[in-house]
Amino acid sequence: MTDLSPLDELAIAGVECFGHHGVFEFERREGQTFVVDLVLGLDTRPAAASDDLHDTVDYGSLVTSVKAAVESDPVDLIETLAHRIADLCLGQDRVEWARITVHKPDAPIDATFSDVALTITRDARSKK
């Protein structure tokens, strides 16, 4: 019998990183702040029952990996960066899906604005 209960959601908001992503040469040279929000779908019942970190996602370790992924290997688009982070999250054994938001608050736009953000959702069954 398949369990149809919805997955739990683990959210980590506002992970600040400094990266050199962007299509303009000055973005690559000078770098800028990126902020990442993660929402992960997983079943936390095993961890609740065992009270053991091995039965859930170690979000401290995951955040360290996400920061490293943002702070290395520059890309042109935040779409590429968001996909990289989603793949990293889906590599966690217990994560069934991941909703990733990449904020680029200092995007080079010639207007007053507060944020540029891209949100993607990926699931473990269709890691494409």
Active-site residue set? 104
Residue 12 and residue 59 in contact, taking contact as beta carbons nearer than 8 Å: yes
> How many Cβ atoms sit within 10 Å of the Cβ of residue 81?
24
d(CA 89, CA 117): 19
Alpha helices in 1-128 (DSSP H): 25-30, 45-50, 59-70, 78-90
